[in-house]
A and B are shown apart, each in its own frame.
Chain A
Amino acid sequence: MMPVRALVLTGYGLNCDYETDYSLKLSGAESHRLHVNELIHGGKSGSQSVLDDYHILVFDGGFSWGDDHGAGVLLASKLKFNMGEQIEAFIQQGKLIIGICNGFQVLVNLGLLPGFEGNYQERRVALIGNDRGNFINTWVNLKMNPESPCVFTRGLSHMELTVRHGEGKFYASAEDIDLLFSHGQVVAQYANEKGDEARGQWPMNPNGSLRDIAGICDPTGRILGLMPHPEAFNHHTNHPDWTRRREALLRQGKSIESLEGDGIQIFRNAVEYIKNAIESGTLNA
């Protein structure tokens, strides 16, 4: 059986590559960390792209170019001018792209999101400075959209993850937000402890995102951008309440069921999707 191959970018201030790579490996992928310049210049021959070897492309978190000119802007430009066509071909082949935090910022600056009507060139939505003005590291509750075509979040209705960003406020025109909702492209929304939308309330909505939007996908559901970090919930001890939960379970004569963190499911879904696509021959690669 052909392995599912994932590419996690490194370099220029990206700093979540190790745990993202680890999460993909846990999910059954053959994952590699690859420097941005290796992606751009590393093709085996003139016309062939490194991307051809991979099924999942991950724009992971960090501070590419120190967030100069706006978070994700420079990495997006560099990729657009050097790799624009190859990335678009990668999408057309039916492969998967996920951008997390800085990676989400890259995806909106590349124009891969929102990707209305298959247009992957247009910068149409933005991630701008948090309303409260500061970087924030905090755990959030997410309400996942079961109606979304997103392949990464299949079967998920709710998830807790950490956010760590200064520019995470999702912003778009009212018409575009309506479009996103009507196409099921709003994948994740910040929520309260009960799982209902945060309605802009801080700190449940940590950045002031319009309509509590934490993540969106393209209309095919194969490109996902997410401000929270699923790779940082790779182990049960990543959750801020785990010692409290362990103690509560202990009193009922139980113990923690699994060492794995809930965030892994997002990567597992991606790997499963590709496995099925390979088996059914639907990848155009």
Chain B
Amino acid sequence: MTIGVKPEHLDRFMELSEKHAVESTVIGEYNDSGYLRLDYKGKTCAFVRVDFLTADFPQWAFDAEWIPPEMRGLKEPVISEPKRYGALLKEMLSRPNICCRNWIARQYDHEVQGGSVIKPLVGKRRDMASDAVVVRPILDLQRGIGVAQALNPHLSQIDTYHMTALTIDEAVRRVLAVGCDPNELGGVDNFCWPTIQYDPVQNPDGKYKAAQLVRANWALRDYCLAYGIPLLSGKDSMYIDGNLEGPFGERRKISGLPTLLFTVSSTIEDVGKCVTMDAKIPGDLVYVLGETRNELGGGEYYQMMGEVGLHVPEVDADALWPLYTTLHRAIQQGLLSSAHAVTRGGLGVHLALVAMGGELGMEIRLGDVRCSHALANSQILFSESSGRFVVTLAPDKQRTFEEIFDGLKLSHVGVVTESPMLLVRDGKGLILMDEEISHLKDCWNRPFGGLI
């Protein structure tokens, strides 16, 4: 690397450099000529105006043509209600993007610097993915910083605007779930995008891909402004295309799904207030914060059925914000024993994960889940609507909890049980599933369980 050192600091700098066994050589000096001049063995081999090197590229113009999802033939799939909800949930839990991947986190030193507060893996067996991690960067302070990430490329098949919105919302909810402050959010956006430059032969849908990028950026602007997230731009990869060899020696062009990896950080004044996602005490009440809508498009359930769908989750940031600030108040007041953002796979998967985290059971009344309108059981279980959390709390906190959430979308849906079964009833009180938590965990562990 090259660095600039004031001439009067050179001796001290060289001393430091030697102490750290780093070889350093003075190769030139700054001046006010406005030119960069490089000499080699007494001969000038470069002489360039600095403003030429620092000036931006000229504005790039490209064609973008958006085609709404209906015009691309997308529709809601026609799937009747299943008969075996328990078996279905187990299959969902073993999907690669939902199942246990803790062998990855265990191979990375996530406690170095000694400030670890919430680790990537939490729960009774320390095997559940945490919503976010929290560290105490300054060891003699109680103040912490939390970080979470989200990534939902499948939603791009419907609309990259909503993909971006949901991804930002998910990352925000993850840091809020552990107790971070909604007013201290910061973000990093990493785009992984296919080539957007139109070419009639090499990239015939380039204009559509360009429109996907434009729409993603609109959402990035809209939601970062709405949530008050300053962005540090991240590393982007804008040419995610490959020409893969086929069985006959031909090469086929494959473009990656438009993907946004969104990272959110925030602070927490007192790390002693942090919460984790695992159910903790039998008898605790289970609440869902937020509203469930008919939004399974691009989600795990439809993917499992080989479908994309049309009803992509949308994010109404203004409506969600009061819920988020109130959640923070509830955590600050110590009202919650667990909090977890409902993300990929929906309520069915995430209620199961909360119970599995505590190796406790749950009795859930699906009919009490607050929905935008009447939904089928499978829709309530697997919709990926934004803005939702599962929280558990001690019964003696119920009144205070409901008071501070007064007027917000909240539903009391069940109870944590000693008996390690996930029991889910429909709106009529009929049992939809009654599954042993250990069996659910087996299914969730199985795909990668033996990898360490």
Q: Measured between alpha carbons, how far is A131 from B118 in the docked complex, in Å?
A: 28
Decide if B108 touches A137 in the complex (CB within 8 Å).
yes
Q: Measured between alpha carbons, how far is A243 from B177 in the docked complex, in Å?
A: 13
Q: Measured between alpha carbons, how far is A138 from B121 in the docked complex, in Å?
A: 10
Q: Measured between alpha carbons, how far is A162 from B115 in the docked complex, in Å?
A: 13
Closest to B21 in A: A37
Name B's interface SS: loop
Q: Measured between alpha carbons, how far is A132 from B116 in the docked complex, in Å?
A: 25
Within A225-271, which residues are at the interface with B (CB < 8 Å)? 229, 231-232, 234-235, 237-238, 240-241, 243-244, 246-248, 250-251, 256, 259
Given known A19-B139, A38-B19, A247-B280, contact A240–B126 (CB-CB < 8 A): yes
Q: B114 is contacted by which of A22, A37, A136, A241 (Cβ under 8 Å)?
A: A22
Decide if A244 touches B124 in the complex (CB within 8 Å).
yes
Decide if A238 touches B21 in the complex (CB within 8 Å).
no
Q: Does A173 make an interface contact (CB < 8 A)?
A: no
For the complex, count residues of A whose C-beta is within 8 A of B.
41
The residues of B that contact A22 with a CB separation of less than 8 Å are 114, 139-140
Decide if A234 touches B278 in the complex (CB within 8 Å).
no
Q: Measured between alpha carbons, how far is A20 from B115 in the docked complex, in Å?
A: 11
The residues of B that contact A241 with a CB separation of less than 8 Å are 124, 126
Q: Does B257 make an interface contact (CB < 8 A)?
A: no
The residues of B that contact A119 with a CB separation of less than 8 Å are none
Q: Measured between alpha carbons, how far is A99 from B20 in the docked complex, in Å?
A: 22
Q: Does B106 make an interface contact (CB < 8 A)?
A: yes
The residues of B that contact A256 with a CB separation of less than 8 Å are 272
Within B111-127, which residues are at the interface with A (CB < 8 Å)? 111-119, 121-122, 124, 126
Q: Does A113 make an interface contact (CB < 8 A)?
A: no
Q: B337 is contacted by which of A18, A164, A247 (Cβ under 8 Å)?
A: A247
Q: Measured between alpha carbons, how far is A225 from B111 in the docked complex, in Å?
A: 20
The residues of A that contact B272 with a CB separation of less than 8 Å are 237, 246, 256, 259
**What is the distance, in angstroms, from A66's C-beta to the closest C-beta of chain B?**
14
| Proximity string of chain A (148-188) to chain B, C-beta cutoff 8 Å, 1 when within and 0 when not | 00000000000000101000000000000000000000000
The residues of A that contact B126 with a CB separation of less than 8 Å are 138-139, 240-241
Q: Measured between alpha carbons, how far is A241 from B119 in the docked complex, in Å?
A: 10
Q: Does A15 make an interface contact (CB < 8 A)?
A: yes
Q: Does B390 make an interface contact (CB < 8 A)?
A: no
Q: Measured between alpha carbons, how far is A16 from B105 in the docked complex, in Å?
A: 19
The residues of A that contact B107 with a CB separation of less than 8 Å are 134-137
**What is the distance, in angstroms, from B274's C-beta to the closest C-beta of chain A?**
7
The residues of B that contact A41 with a CB separation of less than 8 Å are 19
Q: A238 is contacted by which of B111, B121, B274 (Cβ under 8 Å)?
A: B111
Q: A232 is contacted by which of B18, B111, B394, B452 (Cβ under 8 Å)?
A: B111
Decide if B113 touches A135 in the complex (CB within 8 Å).
no
The residues of A that contact B20 with a CB separation of less than 8 Å are 11, 35, 37
Decide if A134 touches B136 in the complex (CB within 8 Å).
no
Decide if B119 touches A240 in the complex (CB within 8 Å).
yes
The residues of A that contact B105 with a CB separation of less than 8 Å are 137
Q: Measured between alpha carbons, how far is A11 from B18 in the docked complex, in Å?
A: 12
| Proximity string of chain A (1-24) to chain B, C-beta cutoff 8 Å, 1 when within and 0 when not | 000000000011001101110110
Q: B19 is contacted by which of A37, A137, A237 (Cβ under 8 Å)?
A: A37
Q: Does B421 make an interface contact (CB < 8 A)?
A: no
The residues of B that contact A246 with a CB separation of less than 8 Å are 272
The residues of B that contact A61 with a CB separation of less than 8 Å are 112
The residues of A that contact B136 with a CB separation of less than 8 Å are 235, 237
| Proximity string of chain A (23-64) to chain B, C-beta cutoff 8 Å, 1 when within and 0 when not | 100000000000101100100000000000000000001000
**What is the distance, in angstroms, from A126's C-beta to the closest C-beta of chain B?**
22
Q: Does B110 make an interface contact (CB < 8 A)?
A: yes
Q: A136 is contacted by which of B18, B21, B106, B275 (Cβ under 8 Å)?
A: B106
**What is the distance, in angstroms, from B430's C-beta to the closest C-beta of chain A?**
33
Decide if A244 touches B280 in the complex (CB within 8 Å).
yes
Q: Measured between alpha carbons, how far is A73 from B142 in the docked complex, in Å?
A: 37
Decide if B111 touches A18 in the complex (CB within 8 Å).
no
| Proximity string of chain B (1-29) to chain A, C-beta cutoff 8 Å, 1 when within and 0 when not | 00000000000000000111100000000
Closest to B274 in A: A243
Given known A139-B126, A248-B281, contact A18–B106 (CB-CB < 8 A): no
Decide if A137 touches B114 in the complex (CB within 8 Å).
no
**What is the distance, in angstroms, from B408's C-beta to the closest C-beta of chain A?**
24
**What is the distance, in angstroms, from A37's C-beta to the closest C-beta of chain B?**
5
List A residues at the B interface (Cβ < 8 Å). 11-12, 15-16, 18-20, 22-23, 35, 37-38, 41, 61, 132, 134-139, 162, 164, 229, 231-232, 234-235, 237-238, 240-241, 243-244, 246-248, 250-251, 256, 259
Top 4 A-B residue pairs of the complex, sorted by shortest distance between their CB atoms: A19-B114, A237-B117, A243-B276, A247-B280
**What would be 7 A-B contacts, judged by CB atoms less than 8 Å apart?**
A16-B113, A18-B114, A18-B139, A22-B139, A35-B19, A247-B280, A251-B281
Given contacts A19-B139, A134-B452, A244-B124, 13 further A-B pairs with CB under 8 A are: A11-B20, A19-B115, A37-B19, A136-B106, A237-B116, A238-B114, A238-B116, A240-B122, A241-B124, A244-B280, A246-B272, A247-B281, A248-B281
